[in-house]
Amino acid sequence: MKRVDFISPGARLEDALKQLEIAWQATKVHWNDAISQKVEDDYLLPLRGQIRSLSDAIGKTSQTLRKAEVECLHPRERGHMM
């Protein structure tokens, strides 16, 4: 059975957010007015919170799926999973 991997896509999403934040900081050097602040407040700040929540959910889901996978195995196979 193929294992489901949520961790790798979640890590890529976090890396993409880091790259976005780096680019945003570089942009703010040249664009720092009320409109740029609105973009940050309306889009970037909520996105950060959503990605943090998603990362937490990915971690919990991965743990639950690993536990379920082990519990569904025959007892002889469980030693190989841990």
- Parse the chain into domains and list their residue ranges: 36-70
In this predicted model, what pLDDT tens digit does every residue of 2-24 receive, in sequence order?
A: 677 878 888 999 999 999 999 99
Q: Which two tokens stand for residue 52?
A: 């943090």
CB 77 within 8 A of CB 32: no
In this predicted model, what pLDDT tens digit does every residue of 44-64 receive, in sequence order?
A: 999 999 999 999 999 999 899
The distance from CA 38 to its chain's CA centroid, rounded to whole angstroms, is 24
Q: How far apart are CA 19 and CA 51, in angstroms?
A: 13
Q: How far apart are CA 30 and CA 28, in angstroms?
A: 5
H or E segment to which residue 77 belongs: helix 75-81
Mean pLDDT of 72-79: 77
Query: In this model, does residue 79 exceed pLDDT 70?
Result: no
pTM of the full structure:
0.74
Q: How far apart are CA 79 and CA 13, in angstroms?
A: 33
Query: In this model, does residue 82 exceed pLDDT 70?
Result: no
